[in-house]
């Protein structure tokens, strides 16, 4: 069923879906927002990274009210199924509706965070809505380390209160978020000629998900599981030398698929038995958390080159030994993941392999400790390591007038109490708090699921209701 455009937020969501906007490819959508601001006579600022701030004066009766930030990021995670030929650089997303749920065919939907972008454009366009002075901030490169937000200048921000539209749950708001960084590890492999049979191991069927919001669910990480299976065969006596190791697309998405190509003189029947034994164990372990796990083993064309034994062993040992996934939970906030890391991407190009790891913690020392562990292991096994995209966390504030307004709106519209949760995902709220230390922030957004995967979905009824909720909160922010 086609996506029916029944209101302005839906219209603007469809416009976002029409324009490619993966991280580092946001210029066209950024320029669209600038053109929108010009068309509506609104002041704006577009920086060199293509962040855009659109300013709108307060409506009648709100002239003396404090200004309010509405904020969302315009980039999306570009994940697709292997059999999908979508080109994220130029193709529009193919939207469709099934049982009231909006999805994109074979790809991520980009509801994270074009729901927020659509809401902001609709509010900026609506001259009938009562509101305080607005600063609508559209940021870029959020999904690869909050880079756009960290390029903002404090002098361009005049408000001390903010609605982050990168949250979800409709009647749920976030209270905090983790800080984190990205670790990039590289190793140059010494290659030698190969005359041994060559095999490929494929991990598929895993559900993946956001490496912050879903890391505590014990989902399988395809990158680590692929190496675990191979390493267990080595520990049982198999002789294996890696040819290539690839898996995952984004550091902040739990990888769903991975491939290992290797050369071995061990008989195929022995390898098959080793791998089947490991696959059986893993399936049992993931029975209730990621039941779709599948392992495929096959012989392939003989590779002309393979990594020398030492380099092959070092690479296997790093991926096998490094900590990964859920690490610590908060003892202060029930259900909050405190510290985690995710081996999100592994790529082999010619004779160089790269591992990209996302590290998160609500405590700065938690980040430092994991980075140190990864670094020590890297030095032992011959990897070079760099850290980048370090971003701050957003700490819980017990006193929040904006949260009180949100509570009242939820009670009025839903006759429910606002649900408040602390989150482990990284978000731009921490960056805004570093720019304006006394910033009062709430997060608001519709119900969605399976973000950062091709199964991403948006509840359309929630999308429509949440816009009304947002307008109620904005109008009450006098």
The verdict on whether omega for the bond into residue 186 sits within 30 degrees of 0, i.e. cis, is no
Q: What is the DSSP string of 247-258?
A: E-S-TTEE---E
Given a contact cutoff of 8 angstroms between Cβ atoms, the answer to whether 287 and 244 are in contact is no
Whose tokens are 């805004």? That residue is: 432
Q: What is the DSSP string of 201-270?
A: EEEE----EETTTTGGG----HHHHHHHHHHHHHHTT---EEEEEEE-S-TTEE---EEEEEE--S-HHH
Q: Which two tokens stand for residue 1?
A: 């069923």
What is the distance of C-alpha 185 from the center of its chain? 20
Catalytic residue list contains 281: no
Q: What Å distances lie between residue 419 and 111, 374, 477, CA to CA?
A: 21, 37, 20
Given a contact cutoff of 8 angstroms between Cβ atoms, the answer to whether 323 and 346 are in contact is no
User: Which residue of the set 15, 142, 259, 314 is catalytic?
Assistant: 142
User: Which residue of the set 75, 170, 259, 290 is catalytic?
Assistant: 75
The bridge status of strand 294-300 relative to strand 198-204 is: antiparallel
Count the residues in the chain: 478
Q: Which two tokens stand for residue 447?
A: 């119900």
Catalytic residue list contains 290: no
Q: Would you please indicate which residues are annotated as catalytic (active-site) residues?
A: 75, 142
């Amino acid at each position: 069923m086609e996506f029916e455009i029944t209101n302005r937020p839906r219209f603007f969501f469809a416009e976002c879906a029409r324009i490619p906007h993966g991280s580092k490819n946001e210029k066209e959508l950024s320029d669209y927002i600038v053109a929108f601001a010009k068309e509506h006579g609104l002041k704006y600022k577009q920086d060199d990274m293509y962040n855009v701030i659109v300013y709108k004066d307060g409506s009648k009766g709100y002239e003396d009210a404090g200004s309010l930030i509405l904020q969302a990021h315009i980039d999306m995670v570009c994940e697709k199924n292997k059999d999908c030929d979508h080109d994220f650089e130029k193709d529009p997303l193919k939207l469709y509706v099934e049982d009231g749920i909006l999805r994109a065919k074979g790809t991520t939907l980009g509801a994270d965070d074009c729901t927020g972008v659509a809401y902001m454009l609709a509010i900026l366009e609506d001259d009938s809505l009562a509101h305080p002075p607005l600063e609508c901030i559209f940021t870029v490169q959020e999904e690869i380390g909050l880079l756009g937000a960290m390029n903002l200048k404090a002098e361009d921000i005049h408000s001390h209160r903010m609605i982050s539209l990168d949250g979800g749950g409709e009647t749920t708001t976030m209270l905090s978020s983790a800080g984190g960084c990205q670790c990039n590890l590289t190793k140059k492999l010494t290659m030698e000629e190969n005359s041994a049979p060559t095999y490929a191991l494929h991990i598929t069927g895993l559900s993946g998900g956001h490496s912050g919001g879903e890391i505590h669910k014990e989902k399988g990480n395809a990158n680590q599981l692929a190496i675990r299976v191979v390493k267990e065969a080595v520990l049982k006596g198999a002789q294996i030398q890696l040819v290539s190791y690839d898996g995952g697309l984004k550091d902040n998405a739990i990888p769903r698929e991975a491939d290992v190509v290797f050369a071995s003189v061990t008989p195929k029947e022995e390898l098959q038995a080793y791998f089947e034994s490991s696959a059986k164990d893993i399936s049992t372990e993931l029975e209730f958390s990621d039941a779709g796990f599948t392992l495929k083993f096959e012989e392939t064309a003989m590779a002309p080159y393979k990594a020398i034994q030492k380099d092959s062993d070092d690479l296997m040992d790093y991926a096998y030994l490094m900590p990964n996934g859920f690490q610590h939970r908060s003892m202060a906030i029930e259900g909050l993941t405190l510290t985690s890391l995710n081996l999100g991407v592994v790529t082999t190009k010619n004779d160089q392999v790269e591992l990209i790891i996302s590290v998160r913690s609500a405590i700065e020392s938690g980040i430092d400790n994991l980075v140190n562990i990864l670094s020590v292991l890297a030095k032992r096994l011959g990897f070079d390591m760099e850290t980048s995209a370090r971003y701050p966390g957003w700490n819980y504030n017990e006193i929040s007038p904006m949260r009180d307004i949100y509570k009242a709106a939820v009670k009025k519209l839903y006759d429910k109490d606002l649900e408040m949760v602390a989150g482990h995902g990284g978000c731009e709220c921490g960056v805004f708090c570093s720019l304006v230390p006394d910033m009062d922030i709430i997060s608001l957004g519709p119900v969605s699921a399976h973000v950062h995967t091709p199964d991403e979905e948006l509840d359309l009824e929630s999308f429509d209701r949440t816009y009304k909720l947002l307008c109620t909160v904005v109008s009450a922010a006098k």
